[in-house]
Amino acid sequence: MEQIWKDRWDKRYSNKEFAYGEEPNKYLKEQLDKLKVGTILFPAEGEGRNAIYAAKLGWKVFAFDISLKGKKKALQLAESNNVTIDYQVGELETIDYEHDQFDAIGLIYAHFPATIKSQYHKILDRYLRKGGVVIFEAFSKKHLHYVLKDEKIGGPKDIESLFSIEEIKADFPDYDFEELAEKEIELNEGIFHNGKGSVIRFVGRKK
Give the mean pLDDT of 131-139.
98
CATH code linked to domain 3-206: 3.40.50.150
pLDDT above 70: percentage of residues in the chain: 99
Give the pTM: 0.97
CA distances from 136 to 59, 98, 104, 111, 179 (A): 18, 21, 11, 11, 10
Contacting residues for 3 by C-beta, under 8 A, at least 6 apart:
none
Give the mean pLDDT of 54-68.
98
Largest CA distance in the chain: 42
Give the mean pLDDT of 43-47.
98
Question: Is the pLDDT reported for residue 198 higher than 70?
Answer: yes
Give the mean pLDDT of 55-69.
98
Question: Is the pLDDT reported for residue 56 higher than 80?
Answer: yes
Q: Parse the chain into domains and list their residue ranges.
A: 3-206
Give me the chain's average pLDDT, please.
96
Sign of CA dihedral 95, 97, 99, 102: negative
pLDDT of residue 1: 60
pLDDT digits (tens, 9 = 90+) for 158-172: 999 999 999 999 999
Give the mean pLDDT of 185-197.
97
Give the mean pLDDT of 172-183.
98
pLDDT digits (tens, 9 = 90+) for 73-100: 999 999 999 999 999 999 999 999 999 9
pLDDT of residue 3: 85
Give the three-state DSSP class for 189.
Answer: strand
Beta bridge partners of 128: 102
